Amino acid sequence: MNLTSVRQPEEIVSRHFGESLFAARHLFPNVRETEARADDPAQAEPESAVHVVDLGSGAGFPGLPIKIRAPSVRLTLIESNQRKAVFLREVSRALTLTHVNIFAGRAEDFPATQADVVTLRAVERFDAVLPLAVRLAKNQGRLALLIGQAQLALVCKLTPKVQWSPPVEVPLSVNRILLLGTSRI
C-alpha cells in the first residue's frame, strides 16, 4: 500500500518494529507483571486504565507494537491520511485488537483528551506537531519521542513544561534516540 518509504526487509524490521518495541519496552517494562495483577485492586493500577495516544500513526508505528506488547492499554491512533487510517482500521480488525480507536483527522482537530502517554515518531512538520503532543498529555503524563539526535535541541526549546530524561540510543540505528518526558502542566 506504499505506507512508508522504507522498503528493505531488514530495515523495516529494525526501523519500524524494532524502534516501536524498544519504546514499548521502556514505557511498559513490567507488562506481564502488571497484567497479572490487573484483577487485584490492591495492586498497581491495571494497564487498562492507561490511555496511549499515537500522533501521526502512519502505518501504525509505534502505536500498534505498543498495543501488542501491552494489550490492555486503550490506544488512540491519530492519522490524517485517509488511506492510512483505513489501513489502521483493517490491521486492528485483522489482529482482533480491542480498545483501539482510529481518529482519521488532523491532530489539531482531535478532541482535547488528556492521555497518560503520547507517542510521536517520524511526523511531518515536527515543530508544529510537538506542542500538540504536549497538549494531549495530562499533567504528569508521559511523552515518548522516537527522533533523530539532531532534533533534541529543538525538542528542549519547544517543550519548556516537559521534564525530559536523558535520551536513550535506539539499538541498531544511526543517530536515532528515544526521548521520554513527563508533562508538567
Dig out the grid coordinates for 129 from the structure.
506537531
Distance CA 21, CA 18 (A): 5
Spell out the domain ranges in the chain. Answer: 9-34+47-183
The structure's pTM equals 0.86
- The CATH number for 9-34+47-183, chosen from 3.90.320.10, 3.40.470.10, 3.40.50.150, 3.40.50.1970, is 3.40.50.150
Dig out the grid coordinates for 134 from the structure.
504536549
* Tens-digit pLDDT profile for residues 85-140: 999 999 999 999 999 999 999 999 998 778 999 999 988 899 999 999 999 999 99
